Amino acid sequence: MLSAPAAGAASADELDAVGRRVLGPPTSPFGVPGVLLAVRAAGQTRVVALGHDGAGREMARDRLFPLASATKLATGLLVLRLIEDGALALDGPVGDVLPDAAAAAVTVRALLCHRGGLPLDLPPDVVDDAQVLDWRRLAGVVLRTPPRQAPWGEVSYSNVGYGLLALAAERVTGWTFRDALHRLVLDPMGLDTIFAADAPERTIAITDVRSPLAGTDRDPYNSAHWRCLGLPWAGLAATPDALLDLLDAYRSADGPTDGAGVIRPETAALATTDHAESAAGGFPGGEALLGFHPGRPMRWAPCAWGLSVELRGDKRPHWTPAAASPRSFGQIGSSGCLAWHDPEAGASWAVLGARSTESGWLLRHGPALGTAALAAAARMTRGAPPHPSSSSSLTADDRPPDERRGLDAGRAPRAGDRRAGV
């Protein structure tokens, strides 16, 4: 199936050809049963849908993909928004609002760029315990989890750190994380997403999920339980257009964006600046989420990282092409997705494959898919009208800036005006 305007046929055809090379049964080493490929440039979005998902249903542009760690794009926007509003301090310890946290001394900045020294995930015995697998109970475990190493050392990717950021957002707003995310990010942007909710008929089923919970009623990505859990680091499902909208919110100076107005341009510029300070690091061992043997970490030196987005830098190997700018940024998800933006090319792309990344398929095929996306974006830019209209669900209007940023949906209280009891 092909979802693209006729004017972009050349771009879509190239994506189609490269995408078909990725297709294969889940028994193949690096094949995926279905994939969505999206490219955005010059105010246009092209989406190619190929194959089927893990349940045999056709891939389609309007279907929802479980984003796993790409959820952090949305969580990061919420936190950055609260920093802009003065409810959180970027360089203040998270203990200012979470004095009961075992990692109270770690700063918000360190958590956003994965330099807080916290572990990758919660202990396996917690995740495997059906009695505690809901966000409210998991939140208590997050609060009690101490750093494993001193902050501001290596970059050490951490889901727990984003759990702490979600709890901080709850404390300063007086809302649940789900409500805060909807009121300040998802709803103002008009995104086609679900979070802590279920839409089984629209959600893409993921194959090759290497978890002891796979095939059970708590199957990661594929169960109603997982979709309704609302993990701040992994619980969002979105269409490819919505995923690109989230990524666009981090763009600052390379043209109009579909996510414009959620955070200010100067905040976006700060978020996409390297905060790793030449530190080494990456993804700690213990999981095969990136296609490496469990226990083997994926490290780079240096390991460029921004505030809630990864930076390309000079990382090798990587899931983006070598031609991508070192300033390019984005996020991957172990469910089998990637969203990336190259400010020098003025292009964004997303890859959403119906197979988890444990096989290594995204690391194997991501560079070629990114190369095709950049080539398609260049043709889209050359063929664009002088003033292209956006394909996003957002529309430009003349409302005041505060209203365009969605503050009419409910402003988070200032840090000095926190609600009683939070």
pLDDT at residue 212 in the model: 80
pLDDT at residue 359 in the model: 87
Q: Work out how many domains the chain is built from and give that number.
A: 1
Instruction: Kindly state whether residue 236 falls inside one of the protein's structural domains.
Output: yes
Instruction: Kindly state whether residue 412 falls inside one of the protein's structural domains.
Output: no
pLDDT at residue 131 in the model: 57
pTM of the model: 0.87
Chain-wide mean pLDDT for the chain? Answer: 85
Give the pLDDT band (50/70/90) at residue 8: very low
Give the pLDDT band (50/70/90) at residue 233: very high
Q: Does position 396 have pLDDT exceeding 80, yes or no?
A: no
CA distance 319 to 362: 6
**Residue partners of 168: CB distance under 8 A and separation at least 6:** 79, 82, 88, 94, 97, 98, 108
**Residue partners of 129: CB distance under 8 A and separation at least 6:** none
Beta strands in 138-278 (DSSP E): 155-156, 193-195, 236-238
Instruction: Kindly state whether residue 166 falls inside one of the protein's structural domains.
Output: yes
Instruction: Kindly state whether residue 224 falls inside one of the protein's structural domains.
Output: yes
Min mean pLDDT across 7-21, 78-92, 306-320, 364-378 is at 7-21
Structure tokens at 312: 């390309």
Which tens digit of pLDDT belongs to each residue from 259-271?
557 999 999 999 9
Instruction: Kindly state whether residue 223 falls inside one of the protein's structural domains.
Output: yes
Query: Of all helices (H) and strands (E), which one includes residue 170?
Result: helix 159-173
Length of the chain: 422
Min mean pLDDT across 170-174, 203-207, 211-215, 237-241 is at 211-215
CA distance 367 to 377: 15
Instruction: Kindly state whether residue 409 falls inside one of the protein's structural domains.
Output: no
Q: Around Cβ 322, how many Cβ atoms within 10 Å?
A: 13
pLDDT at residue 295 in the model: 45
For residue 162, the domain's CATH number is: 3.40.710.10
Which tens digit of pLDDT belongs to each residue from 140-156?
999 999 999 999 999 99
pLDDT at residue 148 in the model: 94
Structure tokens at 199: 């839409």
In the three-class reduction of DSSP (H, G, I as helix; E, B as strand; rest coil), residue 12 is classed as helix
pLDDT at residue 37 in the model: 97
Domain that holds residue 159: 2-397
Instruction: Kindly state whether residue 421 falls inside one of the protein's structural domains.
Output: no
Instruction: Kindly state whether residue 408 falls inside one of the protein's structural domains.
Output: no
Q: Average of pLDDT values for 277-285?
A: 90
> Which of the listed ranges 28-42, 117-131, 276-290, 381-395 does the model predict with the highest average pLDDT?
28-42
Structure tokens at 191: 């995104």
